[in-house]
Amino acid sequence: MAKRVLMKGNEVIAEAAVRAGCRHYFGYPITPQTEVMHYMAKRMVEVGGTFVQAESEVAAINMVYGAAAAGARALTSSSSPGISLKQEGISYIAGAELPAVVVNIVRAGPGLGGIQTSQGDYFQATKGGGHGDYRNIVVAPASIQELYEITVESFNLADKYRMLVMIFGDGTLGQMMEPVKFKDTETIIQADKSWATTGRGGRAEHNIVTSIYIDPDTLEKKNYELQDKYALVAKNETRFETINVQDAEIVFTAFGTCSRICRNVIRQAAELGIRVGMVRPITLWPFPSEEIARVASLDHVKAFLDIELNAGQMVEDVRLAVNGKKPVYFHGRMGGNMPTQKEILDQLVAIHKGEVR
Amino acid sequence: MANVTFRQDRCKGCGLCVSVCPKKILQNDMTRLNSKGYHPICCTDQASCIGCAFCATQCPDSVITVEK
Amino acid sequence: MAIVFEPTKGLTDKPFHYCPGCTHGIIHRIIAEVMCEMGILEDTIGVSPVGCTYNNYEYFACDMVQAAHGRAPAVATGIKRVHPDKMVFAYQGDGDLASIGAAEILHAAARGEKISVFFVNNAVYGMTGGQMAPTTLLGQVTTTSPFGRDAAMQGYPMNVSELLSQLPGAVYIERVAVNNFKNIQTAKRAVAKSFRAQQKGLGFTMVEFLSTCPTNWGKEPVESLRWLETAMMPQYPLGIYKGKDLEV
């Protein structure tokens, strides 16, 4: 039955994962994502799956590595400092080309920081965080319904491309409750897993999962194969939402819960006679550079205003995509604070009047 | 009656087998080198071999096959 | 004439890259022999560590997963939870298991993960050039204890088998050595016992092997076997530390 329930973001992630066929969860408590783990502690038992509270986030990501190598859909979740701990494991997962889903419910940093919402891990998520030339698919939902749908899809994407998919939820998303409508059954892609280490079982060759290639030529070739894969993902899986740019003078770029505030400001600005649109990246990697470049080329677009919960991270990618065609302004809040509609509107009005540097 | 044969190109001349042979009939052939550059193992007196397989058991490189 | 001893099918054809006289080769072989003799080669997944044997996935003929340094018990946990009916082993050196991997081995044992851990203790870090290990002996010269390990500066060696035997989740722990024929047979029996305990789903098992490192000990291979006997064995006595009466 297609249920419509009021649910907390963290719990929706867990439920969506189970519906996507994930039967192995490994985690460690950290605020503000611990409810994912609490939910899984019960739900995994109900579905006969695995639940392990690991000794650390490091151990948890390595358990995911093992489970993924063995051919299963596996999940771990954490928040910023815990995601820092996982970086070695994430790099190994990328190098070994394993499918995996990792959730980051982002809190304010750096260091121990604070426990309230942030988007300060954008660099970490999209530019590496771990060592080496690799990419993860990074998805940034902006509502609980989108969180559910994207979580299910993340497992399919991970299997399809043999990649790690990171669900980037600002802290607010993990904690807030909204109605979500679950499907009766999910579409689960059955990917080829003949490479998995399941026990040789009469196979002519044994399967090996590894990320080390000591010979430079071999490792370089492997890296080019990865780059080719990433190019394919960028071509096929870039997701974004563009609102109201057909006659917009100023265009927001924002993701996650920030984009919701911007959506409201667009309406307020319209009442003041200022035409505002937005490009909302849904995949942070692959980044919708082409779409932003396209919008930057529109004659009526005069400027971009990037709104983030950090000191200015995605704005660098926006500037790269805009490539000097139009000015890109930035407004951010940190520490767990969120911008008010008023402060964003004030910035917008100032830009519109030409009063901003 | 027993016999040892060797995959001599795998031998690294470590001498472990020589040290454990109770009949003292194993020796590295100092007159030649194998493809790895080591003096490979050989048996100096097959007739005295008792097939105990101490040598093969101590060999880290699976060089030795023992028949009896 | 019949074959008394031949190379095992549990190993691939690839010649080992290890130093002459390094006893990793013996340990690999006995694990491979046991897998064949127990008929579990097709149903086993092994985990390779970081260290000299990082690439033992090229030598063992079963399915293999290479793990980050120290994380083999966590990787093995992931594999075993997905395939509880398959046999899973982790092969680790003393740095991998007792230094960077200390949390992972402790908790895998505490959780009673049904895996077999093969811990190779040669009292030094081989791959990276002879540094001090958690199991380096007092007075032992290494590249990071160049004046000999001094308790005041560098602490004491770690007896892992004794430590882990405290945990209820660990059901069988034995320390063995591969310095002579008799001990190699005992070591092989220990490997088989560990796999049998896993087949019965009894809990965490570990075999600690005293092993040599001629290159970083600065000794000839045969001389290294003697040092194992005279210096390592007093610090690391052989024997069963848990599960003496285990019925497997």
Q: What is the mean pLDDT of chain C?
A: 98
State the average pLDDT over residues A13-37: 97
* Chain B with chain C: Cβ pairs closer than 8 A: 80
C181 and B58 in contact by Cβ < 8 A? yes
Residue A68 has pLDDT above 60, yes or no: yes
Structure tokens at C51: 């260290």
> What letters, b where the CB count within 10 A reaches 16 and e where it falls short, cover C111-138?
bbbbbbbbbbbbbbbbbeebbbbbbbbe
3 state SS for A82-143 = HHHHCHHHHHHHHHCCCCEEEEEEEECCCCCCCCCECCCCHHHHHCCCCCCCCCCEEECCCC
- CB of C173 within 8 A of CB of B47? no
| Token code pair at residue C210 | 């005293």
- For the residues A127-141, what does the mean pLDDT come to? 96
A55 part of contact set with chain C, CB < 8 Å? yes
- What are the extents of the domains in chain B? 3-67
In a domain, A357, yes or no: no
A·C CB contacts under 8 A: 134
Please write the tens of the pLDDT for every residue from C111-140: 999 999 999 999 999 999 999 999 999 999
Query: Which of A237, A263, A297 is at the close of a domain?
Result: A237
Residue B44: DSSP 8-state? S
Does the beta carbon of B64 lie under 8 angstroms from any beta carbon of chain C? yes
Whether pLDDT at A357 is above 70: no
Q: Does a structural domain hold residue A104? A: yes
> Do residue A217 and residue A308 come from a single domain?
no
Chain C touched by B10 (CB under 8 Å):
yes
| pLDDT given at position A128 | 82
- Looking at chain A, the whole-number percentage of residues with pLDDT higher than 90 is 98
Using an 8 Å CB-CB cutoff, list chain B residues near C221.
14-16
Model confidence band, residue A1 (pLDDT cutoffs 50, 70, 90): low
Cα separation, A331 vs A337, in Å, equals: 12
Residue of C nearest to A205 (CA): C61
Chain-chain contact of C48 with A67 (C-beta, under 8 angstroms): no
Residues 6 or more apart from C60 whose CB is under 8 A from it?
A206, C10, C11, C12, C28, C31, C32, C46
pLDDT at C2 over 80: yes
User: Which amino acid, residue A248?
Assistant: A
A117 and A214 both lie in a single domain: yes
| pLDDT, tens only, C89-112 | 999 999 999 999 999 999 999 999
Tokens representing C26 are 């013996």
Mind telling me how many Å the CA of C18 is from chain B's nearest CA?
9
What's the complex ipTM? Answer: 0.97
List, in sequence order, the alpha helices (H) in C43-133. 72-82, 94-98, 102-110
**Of A117, A113, A111, A105, the residue nearest A336 (C-alpha):** A117
> What one-letter code names the amino acid at C129?
G
In sequence order, which residues have a C-beta less than 8 Å from that of residue B65 and are 6 or more positions away?
B4, B5, B6, B7, B56, C3, C5, C6, C7
User: How far apart are the CA of C8 and the nearest CA of chain B, in angstroms?
Assistant: 8
C4, C186, C212, best to mutate vs chain B, most B CBs in 10 Å: C4
For residue C104, which residues of chain A lie inside 8 Å, CB to CB? 55, 59, 62
pLDDT at A2 over 70: no
Asked whether residue A111 carries a pLDDT value surpassing 80, the answer given is yes
Instruction: Say if residue A168 is in the same domain as residue A301.
Output: no
Which residues in chain C (125-154) have CB-CB distances under 8 A to chain B?
A: none
Per-residue pLDDT, B1 = 87
Tally of domains within chain A: 2
Given this structure, which CATH class describes domain B3-67?
alpha beta
Shortest CA distance from A91: residue in chain C: C68
Q: Are residues A28 and A150 in the same domain?
A: yes
Under the banding of pLDDT at 50, 70 and 90, the label for residue A94 is very high
Which segments of B1-68 are extended strands (E)? 3-6, 26-28, 41-43, 64-67
Q: Give yes or no for a contact between C176 and C209, defined as CB atoms under 8 angstroms apart.
A: yes
Determine, for residues B62 and C29 on separate chains, whether the beta-carbon distance falls below 8 Å.
Answer: yes
- The residue written with tokens 């058991």 in the block is B57
Min Cα separation A48/chain C (Å): 11
List Cβ neighbours of C129 (8 Å cut-off, separation of 6 or more): C143, C216
Would you place residue A3 in the very low, low, confident or very high pLDDT band (cuts 50, 70, 90)?
confident
CA distances from A47 to A22, A52, A318, C65 (A): 10, 14, 43, 27
Query: Which residue shows structure tokens 């820092």?
Result: A84
Exposure string over A163-199, b if 16+ CB within 10 A, otherwise e: bbbbbbbbbbbbbbebebebeeebeeeebeeeebbbb
- Tally the C-alpha atoms within 13 A of residue A110's C-alpha that lie toward its C-beta: 5
Instruction: Please tell me the distance from the alpha carbon of residue A270 to that of residue A268, in angstroms, as a whole number.
Output: 5
pTM to 2 decimal places: 0.96
Question: Quick one: pLDDT at residue A214?
Answer: 96
Of A207, A237, A267, the domain-final residue = A237
Tell whether A120 and A211 lie within a shared domain: yes
Mean pLDDT of A167-196: 96
Identify the CATH number of the domain in which residue A309 sits. 3.40.50.920
Whole-number Å distance between alpha carbons of A88 and C42:
31
A199: nearest CB among C67, C83, C107: C83
Q: Is the pLDDT of residue C14 over 90?
A: yes
* CATH architecture, range C24-242: 3-Layer(aba) Sandwich (3.40)
Same domain, A30 and A147: yes
Strand partners, A287: none
Residue C247 tokens, joined = 């019925």
Q: Is C71–A208 a contact, with Cβ atoms under 8 angstroms apart?
A: no
Give the residue from chain C lying closest to B60, CA to CA.
C25
Residues of chain B with pLDDT under 50: none
Cβ atoms < 10 Å from Cβ of C200: 13
Q: Rounded mean pLDDT of A197-205?
A: 97
The CA R_g of chain C, rounded to the nearest whole Å, is: 17
Domain of residue A82, CATH code: 3.40.50.970
Cβ neighbours of residue C42 closer than 8 Å, sequence gap 6 or more: A199, A200, A201, A202, C62
Radius of gyration, CA atoms only, chain B: 11
Which domain, by its residues, includes A15?
4-237
pLDDT tens for A305-325 read 999 999 999 999 999 999 999
Report whether pLDDT(C179) > 80: yes
B13 to chain C, closest Cα gap in Å: 7
Task: Inform me whether the pLDDT recorded for C167 exceeds 70.
Answer: yes
Chain C residue numbers touching A211 (CB-CB < 8 A): 66
Alpha-carbon distances of C82 from A38, A191, A237, C78, rounded to whole Å: 21, 17, 29, 6
- Reply yes or no on whether the pLDDT at C239 is more than 60: yes
Is residue C176 pLDDT above 60, yes or no?
yes
Chains that touch A (3 or more CB pairs under 8 A): C
Q: Do the two chains B and C touch, given a threshold of 8 Å on CB pairs and at least 3 pairs?
A: yes
